[in-house]
Amino acid sequence: MTQKNFKPVDEQLAYLKKGVAEIIPEAELTSKLENSRKTGKPLRVYLGVDPTAPDIHLGHTVVLRKLKHFQDLGHTAIFLIGDFSAMIGDPTGQSETRPPLTREQVDTNAKTYLAQVFKLLDPQKTEVRYNSEWLDKLSSYDVVRLCGHYRLARMLEREDFRSRLEHNHPISVHELLYPLLTAYDAVALKSDVEIGATEQKFNLLVHRDIQREYGLPSEVALTMPILVGLNGSRKMSKSLGNYVGITEEPGEMFGKIMSIPDELMWSYYELLTDRTPGEIAQLKKEVTAGTLHPMDLKMKLAQEVITDFHGEDAARKAAENFQRVFRDRQAPEEMPMQRLTRSLPMTISALVFVCGLTQSRAEAQRLVEQKAVELDGQVIDDPRHSVKLSEPRSFVLRAGKKKFKRVVVE
């Protein structure tokens, strides 16, 4: 293996600790980094992900970005796809036994995961593994031996298991196996560091213990906080509708990020960008001094995040479009087109509904009355306002802040 020249340990630590919730234990990470620098041998750092859904949102990228930071510093980044463990299902945070996924579902999700993951990680420098490589091969004897290395009482100390027992909710035996089987991942990979979300802490601690039982040095467990969603209160989640998907259109991503509360912006800079703590501190200083407006800084944030997933050109266009629509109150350069055949006049509220800018005629009427509808830049506040559609013409129809249609009458 080719030896590498690593940055001084204090510089590596400063970069790696950005946004981190906990390093267990930090002294061991320092020691491993020092030894790595001395020998020129990179640390083996892994992130295990169960492909339980086909798409990834920004909340998922927090741990992924930390893996990237190790990769940036020259260490070996291992992206582990839990194709075996996904069929069991991580019980963490679950109030009931979750239905298992089929192998077909897992395989389909895994394919889309990699395409999204490599928007952040360097595919040429990433070791991609699947835990079915070793877990499929475990014999019954191997599984019994693995279970013999951990006490049931300790397993039931988990908050989610304890809560389910107290409320007489069932726990299936296979759920108890989950942290043990994923601990075997750490054994098979001979990992030095494992990254996970704070809710994964119990599993990570089990992994450390099991490595020792198999005669290996314990890995360092590094946990990352859960990303707060767009509303600034609950964790980012697709089910809560407060998420930003990394495959969403750049303009949609830009608008969503611009909607976050100003105070949440600093957490996003920490967890969703590669800016150093010093750079973020300088930005805070400029905002406090009044030399940098929070809106401009939020636009920088949105542009940086979108660049990672769609490229600089797409991010720049999204920023320019946001500037036109929301700051200059102009129509976007590109917008959906609605073709209509020539007909009798139509009320503005009916037109808004027919063009698909609202879910109902009542909603369209409310928007008009609230002065939130424009026809070619002119505010229309009478729901009965008649729009002429008897001859060929085109115009821009706007409803609310974000919805536009270029209407073409043919």
Average pLDDT, the chain: 88
Most confident of 70-79, 85-94, 331-340: 70-79
Domain count along the chain: 3
pLDDT given at position 28? 97
CATH of the domain at 269: 1.10.240.10
- Summarize pLDDT for 146-179 with one digit per residue, the tens: 999 988 888 877 777 778 778 888 777 778 888 9
Element (H, E) at 366: helix 361-369
Smallest Cα–Cα separation from 68: which of 126, 130, 21?
Answer: 126
CA–CA separation, 377 and 345 (whole Å): 20
CA dihedral 188, 189, 192, 193 (to 10 degrees): -110
CA–CA separation, 197 and 147 (whole Å): 24
Q: Residue 399: is its pLDDT beyond 90?
A: no
CA–CA separation, 191 and 189 (whole Å): 5
pLDDT given at position 101? 75
Quick one: 196 and 274 in the same domain?
no
CATH of the domain at 166: 3.40.50.620
Residue 60 identity (one-letter amino acid): H
pLDDT given at position 86? 82
Q: Residue 97: is its pLDDT beyond 60?
A: no
* Residue range(s) defining the domain that contains residue 405: 337-409
pLDDT given at position 95? 45
Q: Residue 53: is its pLDDT beyond 80?
A: no
Domain C-terminal end among 289, 304, 327: 327
Q: How many residues does the chain have?
A: 410
Reported as half-sphere exposure (CB side, CA atoms, 13 A), residue 338 has a value of 18
Q: Among 9-18, 227-236, 266-275, which stretch is predicted with the lowest mean pLDDT?
A: 227-236
Structural domain contains residue 37: yes
Q: In what order do the strands lie in the sheet with 373-375?
A: 337-340, 403-409, 393-399, 373-375, 378-379
Q: Residue 402: is its pLDDT beyond 90?
A: no
Quick one: 37 and 90 in the same domain?
yes
Quick one: 63 and 194 in the same domain?
yes
Q: Are strands 346-347 and 337-340 parallel, antiparallel or unpaired?
A: unpaired
Q: Is 130 left (phi over 0), alpha (psi -120 to 50) or beta?
A: beta
Residue 18, CA distances (Å) to 79, 222, 295 in order? 20, 11, 24
Q: Residue 131: is its pLDDT beyond 80?
A: yes
Domain C-terminal end among 327, 349, 372: 327
Cα Rg of the chain, angstroms: 26
Q: Among 26-40, 200-214, 350-364, which stretch is predicted with the lowest mean pLDDT?
A: 350-364
Structural domain contains residue 245: no
Quick one: 170 and 37 in the same domain?
yes
Structural domain contains residue 231: no
Quick one: 122 and 51 in the same domain?
yes
Domain C-terminal end among 295, 327, 359: 327
- Summarize pLDDT for 267-296 with one digit per residue, the tens: 999 999 999 989 999 999 999 999 999 989
pTM of the model: 0.76
Quick one: 21 and 54 in the same domain?
yes
Structural domain contains residue 287: yes
Quick one: 346 and 218 in the same domain?
no
Structural domain contains residue 62: yes
pLDDT given at position 396? 81
Taking residues 119-129, report their average pLDDT.
94
Quick one: 150 and 187 in the same domain?
yes
CATH of the domain at 353: 3.10.290.10
pLDDT given at position 122? 94
Structural domain contains residue 239: no
Quick one: 300 and 354 in the same domain?
no
Structural domain contains residue 2: no
- Summarize pLDDT for 245-274 with one digit per residue, the tens: 998 889 889 989 988 999 999 999 999 999
Structural domain contains residue 244: no
Please tell me whether residue 42 adopts helix, strand or coil conformation: coil
Q: What share of the chain is helix, strand, coil (3-state, %, to 5)?
A: 50, 15, 35
Quick one: 374 and 348 in the same domain?
yes
Quick one: 162 and 258 in the same domain?
no
4 or 268: whose pLDDT is higher?
Answer: 268
pLDDT given at position 257? 92
Quick one: 314 and 347 in the same domain?
no
Give 235's DSSP letter: B
Q: Residue 353: is its pLDDT beyond 60?
A: yes
CA–CA separation, 105 and 350 (whole Å): 43
